[in-house]
Structure 1
Amino acid sequence: MSNAQSTAPTSRREQILKEAARLFAERGFHGVGVDEIGAAVGISGPGLYRHFAGKDAMLAELLVGISERLLAGGRMRVTEGGGSPEVVLDALINGHIDFALDDRPLITLHDRELDRLREADRKRVRQLQRQYVELWVEVVREVYPVCVEAEARSAVHAVFGLLNSTPHLGRPGALPGRTEMAELLHRLALGAFGAVAGEPSAGEPVAASLPGA
């Protein structure tokens, strides 16, 4: 998949993964049985084993899969950015916002269950995440040349934390509309990067230069 935005499941396997993510996020990995996942997609629990070896395999595919999707989407946006770092950064932010708003169960699942993966899968997730971070760091430093590498990397992690906070913001009905929420998150992300670069935030007065300064 070339971007992080959620799409409607197009196969039984994708339907199973979508419902497994939702149930795992709501009740925890150990709080959900195979039969319940099967019932959510209209097949018997044992029927799931035609698609997955078990719950552990579903969890691994969910967490490795979303890391692969985010990295692939980020690389696509860099490639298609038209040579403008500002346009690329906007596209990266928008792509991650799509993920943060449309795939909230996967954020919860990552936070709670990553350590449950077998070592090889956990290392794969971490490797993909590091590559995704470095993709952003390079673009941020092109947009804000005053940022040293360590500052840019810290800012990227901080922005990810901000955008990935969506599961903790309350039920969707209690939040602004999706468009308004996406615009707010975008402004906050740009504000965070601008702060690291020393740019004044919106509404902040710029200090006047003193004579002789």
Structure 2
Amino acid sequence: MSIRTDAPTRREQILKEAARLFAERGFHGVGVDEIGAAVGISGPGLYRHFPGKDAMLAELLVGISGQLLTGAKRRLADADGSAPSAVLDSLIEGHIDFALDDRPLITLHDRELDRLRDSDRKLVRQLQRQYVELWVAVVREVYPTLTEPTARSAVHSVFGLLNSTPHLGRRGSLPGRAATSELLHRMARGAFGAAGVV
């Protein structure tokens, strides 16, 4: 994933703080005034950017699902002509970046997805299905003995492993970003390798 060098917009600041607060205390445990205070504006001032907390939650969860899919497609395009194993490594690296950098969104997805309107929840699920199927195709290229259902189960299992980062402790208690990333990568490839053994 590309590293941004420009300053985040006010909307991005609001979303980042909303994600952190929602993950820490739950959607209903956070008020608009608290989110505003976290970014230095009044609670009512948030309504210039979002119609309410529901809209923030929807943008966070739909947004990250869309970003993961777009990022994976970009990695596939960049890796055009590369060995399938290198493509899988690139996908794993991209998901690890998300899992380490956006830990509050993982918690938020697990706890608050059902709070979205039906249309937003369906969109999240649709984007996630596309993301999974993209992975399944690559995994089956690397491990051609895997049936489609087994490859899909393996992908979901690896996502569970990579998305366990909110349970690894506070950011300061991790062994370091590079070491954690390397560990998660080895474990993901080990899981796929185990699934591909016949």
| TM-score interval (norm. to shorter) | over 0.9
Q: Which residue number in structure 2 is paired with residue 93 of structure 1?
A: 92
**Long gaps (5+) in structure 1:** 200-213
- 2:112 is matched with 113
Instruction: Show CA shifts across 1:90-130 (max 9, x none).
Output: 00000000000000000000000000000000000000000
Could you tell me which runs of 5 or more consecutive residues in structure 2 were left unpaired when the two chains were aligned. Answer: none
Match of 2:57 among 52, 56, 59: 59
* Partner of residue 188, structure 2: 189
Secondary structure, counterpart of 1:182 in structure 2: helix
Residue identity matched to 2:41: I
1:7: how far off?
Answer: 7.9
Structure number with the higher helix fraction is 2
Distance across 2 between alignment mates of 1:64 and 1:5? 21
Which one is further off, 119-128 or 78-87? Answer: 78-87
Runs of 4 or more above 3 Å deviation: 3-9
Moved more, 41-50 or 74-83: 74-83
Residue type of the partner of 1:179? A
After superposition, residues 33-72 of structure 1 pair within 5 angstroms as 33-72=31-70
Is contact 1:4–1:95 with CA below 8 Å preserved after alignment?
no
2:179 corresponds to: 180
Change in CA separation of 1:8 and 1:54 when aligned onto 2, cut-off 3 Å: farther
Larger Rg: 1
TM-score by length of 1: 0.89
- SS of 2:90's equivalent in the other structure is helix
- Match runs of 1:1-213 below 5 Å: 3=1, 10-83=8-81, 84-198=83-197
Give the share of equivalent positions with the same residue, in percent.
Answer: 76
C-alpha RMSD of matched pairs (Å): 1.5
Provide the TM-score with structure 2 as the length reference.
0.96
